[in-house]
Amino acid sequence: MHNSPGKVKDSLSKAGFTTKERDPNKKESGTIFNIPEKKMDVRIMDGGPNHPPRVVTTKENTNMSVNPNTGKNYPGNIKGDEQKSRSHMYFQ
């Protein structure tokens, strides 16, 4: 993965994925890219007072964490914190 939110956005844009800006009423801004083949959204979050900039992978049109490699739910009984650690990638 790239080392900045801007580079990730550029790569996904150049790959032709559709995009929309996150709801401006939310506490944190970001850009959402839809990956239709995997029924997955990739959210590039700009960061804010409570969170650093990061990439978050979720099931299409939801907040449910999914495997960033497959777009599928995590198998078995993986706890929410573990799912989050796998689907949230932070920038340094």
First to last CA, the chain: 12
Domain total for the chain?
1
CA angle, 91 then 39 then 85, to 5°: 35
pLDDT per residue as tens digits for the range 22-77:
777 878 889 999 999 999 999 999 888 888 999 999 999 998 999 999 999 988 88
Range of the domain at 52: 5-90
pTM: 0.85
